[in-house]
Amino acid sequence: MNMQRRHFLQGIVATSALGLLSPRRFAQAGDTLKVGYLHTLSADGHLWLGEHLGAWKAQGLQLDTVQFVTGLEAYQALAGGSIDLVTTGAVISNFPARGQGKAFLINALETGIAQIWADPDQGIHSLADLKGRQIATTRGTTAHFFLHRALKSVGLDSTKDVEIVHQRLDQAVISFIAGSVPATALWVPFDTPIRQRRPDSLLVAQSSDFPDATVVDGWSARNGLHASQPQLLQRFIRGWAKANDLLTGSPDEALAILAKDKYKEFDLAELKRQYALVQWYATAEWPQYYRDGSVQRWLNQVTDFNQEVGAIKEPIRAETYFDPKPFLDTFA
């Protein structure tokens, strides 16, 4: 095991903290966008491929990037006005449903990246065995949403039948590895340190076995930016499309590029595993899903979850907080 891989979690924390202090900048001229991202393939893959291809620069955009560990911190920064755009997973159905940010661009669908891990030595061998147990995760995220859906499948209620230990996800995983909690719900690639450091752990459930646990990964804009600069968002979408064409049309090439630079902590085989856990669509395929209500339906199922667990009392629906117009005006 190389040192980089061994310290995956510590590296994520350090990089995030440094990023908050001094955002990373690429491109030299043009309109500046401050971009928050999560370091998962379906959240930031387009960002780095766009950089590699010169797609942002070609659109006259300069991106200052800030890494976050979970979407909660990213959207808090967006709501506070310190960043302009964020790319995340399930939290795209959380803060915008409160009127904080406007979703406008979809990267992909998380169909298999959420997982629940447990310690079999503590008597946990199935989802049903989680009743009454502590589970470390981050509330309001992809991991929490999947945990809720998975427990429902065996007649358990995540709000009453288990004790959720709310931690930032990197810390939740560390808690599980250290034996402080008997189970954790996470998303890939946070399974990597568990596989390496707790190989005796049991993968109790993964979202690929739960079709109703699909999560949208995508982009939201600061409310003021969305309202005042639709043309700027369209330029960003054009740059995104160049990256998406490579990611969906030539995935081996795209993943090799990422493995050499932005994803050095993983080898190419691991990146291919992560890629296969996500449903990707070519740019030309997305308009039908923007128009026929599919995107809104996928978003709403996570918004409904937030209402079920009491996180949002009267959420805005995706038909309002998701704006398909910038994308459709660009590619319809």
Sorted by where each begins, the domain ranges of the chain are 3-111+214-331, 114-213
And the tokens for 92?
């795209």
Provide DSSP, 69-134.
SSHHHHHHHHHHTS-SEEEESGGGGTSGGGTSSEEEEEEEEESS-EEEEE-GGGT--SGGGGTT-E
Per-residue pLDDT in tens (0 to 9) along the chain, 332 residues: 444 444 444 444 444 433 443 455 443 457 999 999 999 999 999 999 999 999 999 999 999 999 999 999 999 999 999 999 999 999 999 999 999 999 999 999 999 999 999 999 999 999 999 999 999 999 999 999 999 999 999 999 999 999 999 999 999 999 999 999 999 999 999 999 999 999 999 999 999 999 999 999 999 999 999 999 999 999 999 999 999 999 999 999 999 999 999 999 999 999 999 999 999 999 999 999 999 999 999 999 999 999 999 999 999 999 999 999 999 999 97
- Name the CATH topology of 3-111+214-331: D-Maltodextrin-Binding Protein; domain 2 (3.40.190)
Q: At a CB cut-off of 8 Å and minimum separation 6, what does 266 contact? A: 5, 189, 192, 259, 274
Task: Calculate the CA 208 to chain-centre distance.
Answer: 16
Q: Which pLDDT score, from 0 to 100, does residue 17 have?
A: 38
State the residue for tokens 């629940």: 116
**What is the pLDDT, as a whole number, of residue 25?**
47
**Is the fold of 3-111+214-331 the same as that of 114-213?**
yes
- Residues present in the chain in total: 332
pLDDT recorded at residue 149 = 97
Q: Model-level pTM greater than 0.85?
A: yes
206 phi/psi in degrees, rounded to 5: -140, 150
CA distance 41 to 248: 13
The whole-angstrom separation of Cα 329 and Cα 332 is 6
pLDDT at residue 29 in the model: 52
Q: What is the pLDDT of residue 28?
A: 43
193 Cβ contact partners less than 8 Å away, ≥ 6 residues apart: 8, 9, 173, 177
Question: Is the omega angle on the peptide bond into residue 251 within 30 degrees of 0, that is, cis?
Answer: no
CB 192 within 8 A of CB 8: yes
What pLDDT was estimated at residue 3? 42
114-213: CATH superfamily: Periplasmic binding protein-like II (3.40.190.10)
